[in-house]
């Protein structure tokens, strides 16, 4: 009798499912892959079950497993470094101007990174008479261009490291990447009191591959600046930014992985969320390249 009563109480605790809900579960199976799951999430956002910011972060979590270090790194030519083979007084103004918290320290050559210098350690330069910058350097972490961002983020957290040097297949320095660069793929751009909206940061020239020129472009780059740097004549009549121009061209919000051609330019969307395109890879190909999508 006691056992029967226990079973009744247990059954009463189970959530009640209507016939309609059970039939819906039969004809609408659970998502079987990432694409189907994202479709469900987009549908949930359209029905206001989750907001756009939450959806964008979920999409960002998926993206970090698809992107590699080469996709988001700061190219070698764009790195801000300190050359410790020179007197501190020569490169200190650049440290103050750029206001980074960490700098790769090189010894006369950008390929010869000997350590990572924390800006806060330079305070001792003003307090100690016998300051030796070599003793202030932290160990360098090297990673390959192909390293996935989700694995890199795990390593950053496990080793309490914030910066890594990216090397190519020949061991030469290709660029650098920080934990902030990885986190921005999930939560969007992280700005602090030292970040400035400088136009030169909107378009980064990448190492050329093959016969074309390549740039990594922020979606919020104004069309006027895009035209000036890339050499195009896109109109800004219907959109102010290149991200808006692409959205109008596709007649929808671009998705990560979208590839298409406009004239001699090949576009690949590296990062986008439910609201806007954020990072685009642009390649200018030869004149005889087909412009058809």
pLDDT tens digits, residue range 84-121?
999 988 898 888 888 788 999 998 888 889 999 998 88
CATH topology for the 71-185 domain: CBS-domain (3.10.580)
Instruction: Choose among 271, 69, 101, 248: nearest CA to 176.
Output: 69
Q: What is the mean pLDDT of the chain?
A: 79
Rounded to 5 degrees, φ, ψ at 289 are: -80, 135
As given in the structure block, the two tokens for residue 66 are 């698809």
Residue 41: pLDDT band (50, 70, 90) is confident
pTM metric for this prediction: 0.58
Instruction: Give the whole-number percent of the chain exceeding pLDDT 90.
Output: 20
Residue 290: pLDDT band (50, 70, 90) is very low
Q: What pLDDT is attached to residue 190?
A: 58
pLDDT tens-digit readout, 208-258? 655 568 888 888 899 999 999 988 889 888 888 999 899 888 888 888 778
Pairing mode, strands 213-218 and 259-262: unpaired
Domain range summary for the chain, segments of one domain joined by +:
71-185, 197-284
Higher-confidence position of 253 and 274:
253
CATH code that applies to domain 197-284: 3.30.465.10
Give CB contacts under 8 A, 24+ apart, made by 140-146.
140/104, 140/113, 140/114, 140/115, 140/116, 140/165, 141/165, 142/166, 142/167, 143/69, 143/167, 143/177, 144/69, 144/169, 145/68, 145/69, 145/70, 145/73, 145/169, 145/174, 146/68, 146/69, 146/70
Report the alpha-carbon distance of residue 119 to residue 175 in Å, rounded. Answer: 20
């Amino acid at each position: 009798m006691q056992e029967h009563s226990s079973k009744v109480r247990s059954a009463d605790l189970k959530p009640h499912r209507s016939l309609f809900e059970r039939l819906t579960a039969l004809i609408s199976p659970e998502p079987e892959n990432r694409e189907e799951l994202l479709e469900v999430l987009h549908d949930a956002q359209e029905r206001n079950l989750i907001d756009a910011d939450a959806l964008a972060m979920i999409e960002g979590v998926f993206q970090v497993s698809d992107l590699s270090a080469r996709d988001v790194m700061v190219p070698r030519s764009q790195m801000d470094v300190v050359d410790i083979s020179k007197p501190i007084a020569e490169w200190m103004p650049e440290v103050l101007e750029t206001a980074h918290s960490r700098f790769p320290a090189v010894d006369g050559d950008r390929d010869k990174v000997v350590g990572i210098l924390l800006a806060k350690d330079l305070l001792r330069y003003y307090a100690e008479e016998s300051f030796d910058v070599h003793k202030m350097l932290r160990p360098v972490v090297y990673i390959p261009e192909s390293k996935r961002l989700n694995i890199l983020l795990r390593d950053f957290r496990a080793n309490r490291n914030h910066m890594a040097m990216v090397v190519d297949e020949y061991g030469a320095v290709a660029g650098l990447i920080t934990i902030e660069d990885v986190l921005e793929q999930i939560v969007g751009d992280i700005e602090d009191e030292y970040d400035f909206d400088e136009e030169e940061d909107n378009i980064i020239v990448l190492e050329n591959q093959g016969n074309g020129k390549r740039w990594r472009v922020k979606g919020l780059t104004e069309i006027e600046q895009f035209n000036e740097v890339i050499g195009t004549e896109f109109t800004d009549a219907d959109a102010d930014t290149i991200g808006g121009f692409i959205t109008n061209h596709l007649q929808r919000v671009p998705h990560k992985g979208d590839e298409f051609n406009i004239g001699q330019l090949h576009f690949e969307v590296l990062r986008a969320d439910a609201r806007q395109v954020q990072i685009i890879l642009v390649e200018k190909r030869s004149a005889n390249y087909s412009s058809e999508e």
